[in-house]
Amino acid sequence: MMVATDDFVEADNVEAIISRIEHKSRKIESLLKQSKLVEALKTALEGSPPNTRDERCKSANWIAVHRAIMAMKDLDALFSSLDPEYYNILMKYLYRGLSTGDRPTCDPVPADSRKTHGEGRLGVHTSFPSRHHKYSMMIIAIVI
Amino acid sequence: MANSLRLYLTCIRNTLEAAMCLQNFPCQEVERHNKPEVELKYVYVSMILICRNEAEKCLIETSINSLRISLKVKQADELENILTKKFLRFLSMRAEAFQVLRRKPVQGYDLSFLITNYHCEEMQKHKLIDFIVQFMEDIDKEISELKMSVNTRGRLVAAEFLKQFI
């Protein structure tokens, strides 16, 4: 009985989470149209569903974050303005992207860039998207 | 080295540097036993999959006292498929010489490494990572060389055989 109740509560939450993600996606699209790429990525990373087990929620959020990541061009601006608390969340989505095997997502690009934010803090190794709008692969490693 | 391969290997190197933090951990199920937890999965095992493309990928499974790295090597045609299978089987059968190589690859992959905390104590961590990355780089070259030598030998044999009909 308790399990059935939990399932019922989870289903309700899932619908709420999905509608929230849809609303977030519309906001991300409008930010991307205004060329506010960093804000779009921050919006995508905020409110990621932390404890849900529903695959639809995870997939819906992943699609929104993926859209924002693929639109990124200036990674210097991204890492200078992104709060460190978002690095872990961003890393998880990047590894999710790397695990898809989808060529446009995983295909690397010519330019490389490495940023390290000092001993004992987050170290980031990234690659930029090319000017010809090819898809990019961002690689982030946490160096502790 | 092609840029795409370089970035793929760099990603794997960075992931291994973060993941290779191993410590001794006695078995929770059997008293006075010490087993690689990544094989038994008694405790939580985290998995990271890094794909270069649909055909090439690397699965890194980490646990508290061991790390398993499984590789899927690119195989463009049937000949490469056969050569890769034979070559990697040759290496796997000599796993003791490599110490960190697993005798049998994980299902769905061509080759697997198993690194335990004992390996990290005896060997240097960055050297282990260098070895794995260098291995991944060299395996493609080896398979290409094998393929070329098979094609060359085939061409020579065919030419010699057909000479008698000239």
pLDDT classification of A103: cutoffs 50, 70, 90: low
Q: How confident is the model at residue A120 (pLDDT cuts 50, 70, 90)?
A: very low
Nearest CA in chain A to B60: A99
Question: In A, residues 63-122, which contact B (CB 8 Å cutoff)?
Answer: 95, 98-101, 103, 106-110, 112
**Residue in A98, A125, A139 closest to B51 by CB:** A98
Q: Which of A100, A108, A142 sits opposite B8 (nearest CB)?
A: A108
pLDDT at A7 (0 to 100): 52
Distance of alpha carbon B131 from alpha carbon B139, whole angstroms: 12
Q: A137–B50: do the CB atoms touch at under 8 Å? A: no
Q: What is the pLDDT of residue A115?
A: 34
Beta bridge partners of residue B51, listed in sequence order: B57
Q: Which residue of B has its CA nearest to A141?
A: B14
Query: Which stretches of chain B are DSSP H helices?
Result: 3-19, 37-40, 78-93, 95-98, 117-122, 125-163
Share the mean pLDDT of chain A.
66
Q: Residue B41: which pLDDT band, with cuts at 50, 70 and 90?
A: confident
CA angle B44, A54, A93 (to 5 degrees): 65
The interface predicted TM-score (ipTM) is 0.78
Between the two ends of chain B, the Cα-to-Cα distance in Å is: 44
**Residue A143 at interface with chain B, using a CB cutoff of 8 Å:** yes
Q: Which of A79-83, B24-28, B124-128 has the lowest mean pLDDT?
A: A79-83
Please list every residue in chain A whose beta carbon sits closer than 8 Å to the beta carbon of residue B70.
Answer: none
The proportion of chain A whose per-residue pLDDT surpasses 70, expressed as a percent, equals 60
The pLDDT score that the predictor gives to residue B143 is 92
Do B59 and B69 form a contact (C-beta atoms < 8 A)? yes
Q: What is the pLDDT of residue A110?
A: 23
Q: Rounded to the nearest 10 degrees, how much is the dihedral formed by the CA atoms of B24, B133, B76, B80?
A: -80
Nearest chain B alpha carbon to A93: B48
Write out the DSSP string of B111-130. EEEEEEHHHHHHS-HHHHHH
B83 or A36, higher pLDDT? B83
> For residues B58 and B7, is the Cβ–Cβ distance under 8 A?
no
State the pLDDT confidence band at A13, using cuts at 50, 70 and 90. Answer: confident
Query: What percentage of chain A carries pLDDT values higher than 90?
Result: 2
Chain-chain contact of B17 with A141 (C-beta, under 8 angstroms): yes
Q: What angle, 0 to 180 degrees and rounded to 10, lies between the N-to-C axes of helices B3-19 and B125-163?
A: 140
Summarize the confidence of residues B51-69 as an average pLDDT.
91
Report pTM: 0.78
Residues of A with CB below 8 A from B2's CB? Answer: none
For residue A143, pLDDT over 60 is answered with no
The predicted structure's pLDDT at residue B6: 85
Question: pLDDT for A32-70, tens place per residue?
Answer: 899 888 888 888 888 777 667 778 888 888 888 888 888
Q: Which of A101, A103, A137 sits opposite B7 (nearest CB)?
A: A137
With a cut of 80, say whether residue A9 has pLDDT above it: no
pLDDT value at residue B1: 61
Asked if A125 lies within 8 A of B10 by C-beta distance, the reply is yes
Evaluate whether B29 touches B58 at the Cβ level (below 8 Å): no
What pLDDT, on the 0 to 100 scale, is given for residue B16? 92
- What is the rounded CA–CA span in Å between residue A76 and residue B54? 30
Q: What is the pLDDT of residue B69?
A: 95
pLDDT band at A124; cut points 50, 70, 90:
very low
Cα angle B64-B70-B74, degrees, rounded to a multiple of 5: 160
pLDDT of residue A125: 36
pLDDT value at residue A59? 86
Choose the closest CB to A100 out of B4, B7, B51. B51
